[in-house]
Amino acid sequence: MSSHSNPSTAATPLDLSKWRSLPTRLMLVGGILSLIGLLVPSYREQFSFSWLVSFMFFLSLCLGGWFMVLVHHLFDASWSVPIRRVTENLACQVRWMAVLFVPIALFAPRMYPWMELSANHTPDHALHAKGALLNIPTFYLASIFCFAVWWYYTTKLRFWSLEQDRTGSAECTNRMRMLAYFGVFAFAITLTLGVILWMKSLQHQWFSTMYGVYYFAGSVWLTIATVYVITLVLKRQGPLREVVQETQFYFLGSLLFAFTVFYAYIHFSQYFIIWNANIPEETFWYVLREKGSWWQIGLLIVFGHFFLPFLTLLRIDVKLSWLMIPLGVWAWLMHYVDLQFNIMPILHPDGFVLHWLDIGSFAFMAGFMARNFMKDFAAYPAYPQKDPRFAESMGVYVAPASKTPAAKVAGGAR
Amino acid sequence: MGETSKPYGIIAEFETAAAIMHAAEKVRDSGFRKWDVFTPFPVHGMDRAMGLKNSKVGWFSFIGGATGYTSGMLMIWYLNAVDYAIPIGGKPMFSPHGAFPPSYELTILLGAFGAIFGMLFLNRLPKLHHPLLKHERFKLATHDRFFVVIETGDPKFSETETRALLESAGSKHIELVED
């Protein structure tokens, strides 16, 4: 049917068995490196910042997955039914992020300068004004609140989805829809809260009303690219072979394109408003990020996070081509660089440094999250089994039971 | 006048979206070039059933957008930095950040112009008259009927064979359309 050359149409599954142990190995190597950073006092500061960057990276994937589930229910979408189990399982990994948050909770008093000011009762003017949120009890309580909300919504959404696999009841769809309705508000509030507390308050004097949206745009961008690649692998390997079709890949590609532009729009707006107003209370954040090689990193974000994917995705046929795989890898790299740009200039104001603890903590979390995701994915059916919109997502029309001609029903009964 | 001139084409009527899809696939596979399908609503997958390639409008839009962005940047640079320098807030005379919002809006404007005028140009619109508009039953194309029209100008057109093809596709109502 298709004239496009989609890599997913290749018939033979790839032999991925030799990659099976990769997550465990990553976890092991990364775990050892991180442990050294944790235990050796001179590395502890670098470790806590490296850990924060990796933590925010994998949090992006979990929250992005949750967002895709929410949007699926809010729009009553049919196309995303076959990929929903992927995003549901991705979202549910957020419970492990609570575990990975422990080192940040422990080292927070050294990472966030405002905590020291707050503890010594010597707040500067900015901290005095922002004290309602930026105080030590609120920091921990709000963090617990975020994880609790995320755990509740992600597990509930998957619970009702799995319940529908069993019963096929429309009630489950209604439940998920209500969860999505309240969930999207919870999503916006908690994501903003989390990113303000954990990333933005590293420089508590700074102002930006875009910051939550900024992290959200980058996170969903990363997640769409990741879901594309995961779905492609699952289609080739079998579990989603019959159910995922060109439509799903095309729409994921289009969404990726949209979020490429959306991210650029948000980041440019943040920069432009600060540049234009030219007030020292705001500009210092970007001034720090123009020092040393951070200048080049900033340009890399402009051209690599926006221009390259934008120009690549502009053509309609790219969204179904092999180019989407290198683009997925590129999205991981760019989002990581973006988070480095946000977090690391505080520790390394002279320029970008790729420390072995960056690689260690990232490898550990990548292995840990991949293992957990694969375990979850293998434990449940690979796609929603009895979703009312399933046939529609496959492009098949099924007449509703109420429209079956009465005579035929009567005839059948006789 | 109508009796002596060559007819415009042959029109075949279908009753369902599925029927018109199959008919379109048949006509496409027979290698016709000058033909079209008319439906009361967009039928998904029709572009493939007709063997249509991706529209070229995108190129007009792209060129329009690129022109808009470049001319916006050049205009602001020339006006504010060269022709009549205006120092504002200690900022450079020209900065791509400051010039970006208007250039971006010009990108959208000229991109949209490219799309609409490119579409009109490729469709050879506006057109004051079309032979199909005289055809009585063709009005149903905006109601509940589906039509395939094959022009006599198509190199593969033959009145008897084309009629037979459309009949075999399941049309019960086939007529010639006057020019």
Q: What is the 3-state secondary structure (H, E, C) of B15-77?
A: CCHHHHHHHHHHHHHCCCCCEEEECCCCCCCHHHHCCCCCCCHHHHHHHHHHHHHHHHHHHHH
Residue B90 distance to chain A (closest CA, Å): 9
Interchain pair A272, B90: CB under 8 A: no
Residue B42 lies in a domain: yes
Chain B residues whose CB is inside 8 A of the A3 CB are 48
Q: Are residues B168 and B83 in the same domain?
A: no
Which of A250, A269, A276 is the best mutation test for B, with the most CBs of B within 10 A?
Answer: A276
Contact B101 A271 (CB under 8 A): no
How far is the C-alpha of A33 from the C-alpha of A54, rounded, in Å?
14
Q: What is the mean pLDDT of residues A373-391?
A: 92
B115 with B130, same domain? no
Encode B144-177: b = buried (16+ Cβ within 10 Å), e = exposed: ebbbbbbbbebeebeeeebbebbeebbbeebbeb
Query: What is the average per-residue pLDDT within A34-61?
Result: 96
DSSP A79-117: TTSTTHHHHHHHHHTHHHHHHHTHHHHHHHHHH-HHHHH
Distance from CA of B143 to the nearest CA of A (A): 22
H/E segment holding residue A409: helix A406-413
pLDDT exceeds cutoff 70 at A250: yes
The pLDDT score that the predictor gives to residue B3 is: 53
Can you tell me the distance from the alpha carbon of A111 to that of A105, in angstroms, rounded to the nearest whole number? 10
Q: Check CB contact under 8 Å for B97 and A314.
A: no
pLDDT of residue A20: 85
Does the structure show a pLDDT above 60 at A406?
no
For residue A173, name the pLDDT band (cuts at 50, 70, 90): very high
In this model, does residue B128 exceed pLDDT 60?
yes
Question: pLDDT tens-digit profile of A209-221?
Answer: 999 999 999 999 9
Same domain for B45 and B14, yes or no, is yes
Interchain contact A268–B (C-beta under 8 A):
yes
Residue A14 has pLDDT above 80, yes or no: no
Question: Hey, what are B114's tokens?
Answer: 């490219």
**pLDDT above 80 (res A413):** no
pLDDT at A5: 43
Q: Note the helical H segments in A243-395.
A: 246-277, 280-288, 294-300, 308-313, 324-343, 356-379, 390-393
pLDDT of residue A11: 61
pLDDT for residue A214: 97
- Cβ neighbours of A314 in B, within 8 Å: 62
The pLDDT of residue B99: 92
Residue B144 lies in a domain: yes
A15 vs A337, more confident: A337
Distance CA A71, CA A281 (A): 36
Banded pLDDT at A395 (limits 50, 70, 90): confident
Cα within 13 Å of Cα(A95), Cβ side: 13
> Is it the case that residue A288 has pLDDT exceeding 90?
yes
Give domain status of residue B79, yes or no: yes
Task: Round the average pLDDT of chain A to a whole number and report it.
Answer: 91
Residues in chain B: 179
Phi-psi region at B170: left, alpha or beta (left = phi > 0; alpha = psi -120 to 50): left
Chain B residues with CB-CB distance to A under 8 A?
48, 54, 58, 62, 89-91, 97-98, 100-101
Q: What is the pLDDT of residue B4?
A: 58
pLDDT value of residue A12 = 72
Nearest CA in chain B to A276: B98
Tokens 């909300």 sit at which residue? Answer: A149
pTM of structure: 0.89
Judged by a CB distance cut-off of 8 A, whether residue A19 touches chain B is no
Measured between CB atoms, which of B54, B89, B100 is closest to A278?
Answer: B89
pLDDT of A326-357, one tens digit each?
999 999 999 999 999 999 999 999 999 999 99
Give yes or no for A316 touching B (CB within 8 A): yes
**A15 pLDDT band (50/70/90 cuts)?**
confident
Q: Which amino acid is at A95?
A: R
Looking at the predicted structure, is the pLDDT value of residue A17 above 50?
Answer: yes
pLDDT in tens, A84-130: 999 999 999 999 999 999 999 999 999 999 999 999 998 999 999 99
Q: Which residues contact A384 (CB under 8 A, 6 or more apart)?
A: A81, A82, A84, A85, A161, A164, A165, A390
DSSP A76: T
Is the pLDDT assigned to residue B129 strictly greater than 50? yes
Q: Taking CB atoms and an 8 Å cutoff, what residues of chain B touch A278?
A: 89-91
Distance CA A81, CA A250 (A): 14
Q: Count of CB contacts below 8 A, A vs B? A: 18
List Cα–Cα distances, B139 to B15, B23, B129, in angstroms. 14, 20, 15
Chain B nearest C-alpha distance from A286 (Å): 14
Residue-range definition of the domain harbouring residue B134: 7-51+126-178
3-state secondary structure B85-104: CCCCCCCCCCCHHHHHHHHH
Q: Is the pLDDT of residue A393 over 90?
A: no
Place of tokens 């990769």: A22
A317 lies within 8 A of chain B by CB? yes
CB-based contact B62 A314, cutoff 8 Å:
yes
Q: Is the distance from CB of A198 to CB of A342 less than 8 angstroms?
A: no
Q: What is the pLDDT of residues A293-305, one digit of tens each?
A: 999 999 999 999 9
Amino acid at B15: E
Q: Count of domains in chain B?
A: 2
> With an 8 Å Cβ cutoff, is A380 touching chain B?
no
Of the candidates A272, A314, A317, which has its C-beta nearest B97's C-beta? A272
Of A155-159, A293-297, B167-171, the least confident: B167-171
Token couple for A377: 């994915």
- Give the residue from chain A lying closest to B18, CA to CA: A397
Q: What are the structural domain ranges in chain A?
A: 19-413
SS3 B126: coil
Nearest residue on chain A to B90, judged by CA atoms? A278
Q: What span, in angstroms and rounded, lies between the C-alpha atoms of B4 and A146?
A: 81
Find the mean pLDDT for residues A392-407: 69
CA dist B9 and A133 (Å) reads 74
Q: How far is A75 from chain B (nearest CA, A)?
A: 20
Peptide bond into A7 cis (omega under 30): no
How many of the other CB atoms lie within 10 Å of CB of B37? 22
Q: Indicate if the pLDDT at residue A414 is higher than 50.
A: no
Looking at the structure, tell me whether residues B142 and B113 fall in a common domain.
no
Average of per-residue pLDDT across A58-70? 97
Asked if residue A87 lies in contact with residue A65, where contact means CB atoms within 8 angstroms, the answer is yes
Do B80 and B110 fall within a single domain?
yes
Quick one: closest CA in B to A275, which residue?
B97
